[in-house]
Chain A
Amino acid sequence: KAGVTQTPRYLIKTRGQQVTLSCSPISGHRSVSWYQQTPGQGLQFLFEYFSETQRNKGNFPGRFSGRQFSNSRSEMNVSTLELGDSALYLCASSLVVGGAYEQYFGPGTRLTVT
C-alpha cells in the first residue's frame, strides 16, 4: 500500500511570493492534516480537511489556506511569503483506529524563503 506522498520535496521561494504544496493521502483515507515544523518548535497544527471540508484549524494567519479535492488529495497555499515561513511542512492522512485517529505522515516539503 503506497504511503502518503508530498510534492515537491524541496522548494525555494522569495519573500512576497506564494507557494502551493500538495499531499496525496493513503488510498482510502479521507482526512488530511497539515503541520509546520520550525527549528526548536514541535509540530504545529495548521488545519485538517475531511471530505473536502475544513474541519479544524490551528492558530495561523489567513495567509495559510488549504483545500481538499474529491479524491482526498489536498493542497496547502501560503501567500505573501515571509522569512519566518521557512519550515518543514508535513501532511498526514488519517485512519480511525479504535475511536482515535491514527495519522500517517508524508516525508514533508522543505520550504526555504529568502
Chain B
Amino acid sequence: ILNVEQSPQSLHVQEGDSTNFTCSFPSSNFYALHWYRWETAKSPEALFVMTLNGDEKKKGRISATLNTKEGYSYLYIKGSQPEDSATYLCAFGSGGSNYKLTFGKGTLLTVNP
C-alpha cells in the first residue's frame, strides 16, 4: 500500500501571507507527482505535473518543487488571496504503462480577507 502524506491537514492564513505545504511520497517506483486544486462544489483542477528530480514549476503566484530522492514536494503560494481558498491535493503517479495515481488527503487552505 502506497502512503502519500500531506501536511498540514488544514491551514488558515491572512490575505497577503505566503504559505507552503508538503507532500511526502515513496521514493521507489516514482513516475510523476501531480498537484491539484479543489474548490468546494467544483472539479479538482490540475496545477502541475512534475517528473524529474529537482523540477520546479510555476503558475502565477503558485509554484512547486520536487525531490524524488527523498520523496517530497512542496507547494508554495505567494501573497495568498481569498480566492486561493481550496483543498490542495497531491498525487503520486506510479506504474509506467499501468499508470495509477495515489492521492494524499489534501491540505485545506483558508485565506481570510
Contact = CB atoms under 8 A, between A and B. Distances in A.
Interface string A16-56: 00000000000000000101000011111100100000011
B4 A100 contact: no
B43 A99 contact: no
Interface in B80-113: 89, 91, 93, 95, 98-106
Given A4-B43, A102-B49, A45 B4 contact: no
A58 B2 CA distance: 12
B61 to A, nearest CB: 21
Contact of B104 (A42, A104, A107): A42
Contacts of A55: 98
Contacts of A99: 31-32, 51
Interface of B: 4, 31-32, 34, 36, 42-46, 49, 51, 89, 91, 93, 95, 98-106
